Amino acid sequence: MIEIKNIKKTFGTKTVIEDVSTIMHAGKVNLIIGASGSGKTVMMKCIVGLVKPDLGQIKYEDADFLNMEEKEKKELRTQIGMLFQGSALFDSLTVENNVMFPLDMFTTKTLAEKRQRVNEVLDRVNLKDANKKYPAELSGGMKKRVALARAIVLNPKYLFCDEPNSGLDPQTSLVIDKLIMEITAEFKMTTIINTHDMNTVMESGDHIVFLHQGRKQWEGSKDDIIFSKDTYLNNFIFASEFLQDAKNKRMQDAKHA
C-alpha cells in the first residue's frame, strides 16, 4: 500500500501537481489517467522519489518515504520495479543482459538459473528470439516489453508502469494488461499504471485516479466510471462517438439488470 497525501510539485512558476491525495492499494491495479501533459509522469516520479515534491507526504506501508535515510531508501527500492515511458533500456547491453541486470546485481543465482528466469519473463511479455539483440535494433513496442520484463524480473512488491501499452498493437496490449493483472494478484503487488488507453481503463482499473491539469478530478473504479457525472472525465474517457455509444449501451444494460 502506498499512501499519498497532499503532494504538490511546481517547475518554476508552473504548478504541475496540485494537492493530490490518494491511496494505492496492494494487490490491485491502480491507474493514473489523464490527458497528455496532465502530470501523470511527474506524479509517478514523485511517488518513486525521482522528483522531489515541494509539499506533501508519501508513505510506503507505514514508512515515511520522503524523510527516509538513504540506506533505507535503497533497501526499499530493491522492491520497486519501474517501466519508464521512454523504456530506459541500457544501450550497451543486449536484451537478455538488460533483463538479467537486476538479477546480476541483487541475487546470487547461477548463470543458468538467471537465464531461465530471463527467458521466463521475456516469454510472458510475448517476446522471443530477441535475446541477443541490442535496444537500438528493437521497435518501440519491443523496447517497452523488454523494459517491462526487466521491471518484473525480481517480482517487485511495488510495480510502476508509465504507459506500458503506448506503441503496442491492440493484441499485444491486451497480453500486457493481462500479465500485469495476473502478477499483481498473484504476488499481491501494489501496481501503479499511467495510461490513456481506454481498454486498460475498462479492463483492469481496480482503482482509478483521474488527473486534470495536475489536480485529482475524479477517483473510483472501472465500474463507477460509466455512471460518473463528471464532465471532464466523460469528455476524456468517452471522447469518440463510438465510445459514447458503448457507454450508453452499458448503462442501459445495467438499468435492465
- Name the site residues for ligand ATP (rule: CB under 6 A): 11, 16, 34, 36-42, 85
> Three-class SS of residue 21?
strand
Look at strands 215-220 and 55-60 and give their pairing.
Answer: unpaired
Candidates 29, 43, 47, 82; binder of other proteins (CB under 8 A) is 82
What residues pair up with 5 in beta bridges, in sequence order?
57
Among 30, 38, 41, 165, binds Mg ion (CB under 5 A): 41
Quickly tell me which residue has 508519501 as its cell. Answer: 58
42 binds, among other proteins, ligand ATP, Mg ion, none (CB under 5 to 8 A by kind): ligand ATP
CA atoms within 13 A on the CB side of 213: 2
The residue nearest Mg ion at its CB is: 41
- Note whether 195 binds Mg ion by CB under 5 A: no
State which residue, 44 or 233, has the beta carbon closest to Mg ion.
Answer: 44
**Site for other proteins (CB under 8 A): which residue of 62, 69, 91, 241?**
91
Interacting residue with other proteins among 6, 78, 116, 248 (CB under 8 A): 78
Q: Is 104 in the site for other proteins (CB under 8 A)?
A: yes
Integer angstrom CA distances of residue 151 from 12, 111, 148, 216, 256: 32, 19, 5, 27, 43
Residue 76 to residue 204: CA distance in whole angstroms: 26
140 makes contact with other proteins (CB under 8 A): no
**Helix, strand, or coil (residue 172):** helix
The smaller minimum CB distance to other proteins, of residues 106 and 227, is found at 106
Least Cα distance to 195 among 208, 179, 181 occurs for 208
Instruction: Work out the widest C-alpha separation in the chain, in whole angstroms.
Output: 59
Query: Among the candidate windows 81-89, 113-121, 202-210, 235-243, which touches other proteins by CB under 8 A?
Result: 81-89
Q: What is the CA radius of gyration of the chain?
A: 19
Residue 105 in contact with other proteins, rule: CB under 8 A: yes
Nearer residue to ligand ATP within complex by CB, 45 or 145: 45
- Which of 85-93, 176-184, 189-197, 226-234 is the region at the interface with other proteins (rule: CB under 8 A)? 85-93
Given ligand ATP, Mg ion, other proteins, none, residue 84, with its beta carbon under 5 to 8 Å by kind, binds: other proteins
d(CA 85, CA 97): 20
Smallest separation, CB 199 to ligand ATP (Å)? 16
Any contact of residue 165 with Mg ion (CB under 5 A)?
no
| Footprint on this chain of other proteins (rule: CB under 8 A) | 48, 50, 73-78, 80, 82, 84, 86, 88-91, 101-102, 104-106
| Footprint on this chain of Mg ion (rule: CB under 5 A) | 40-41, 85
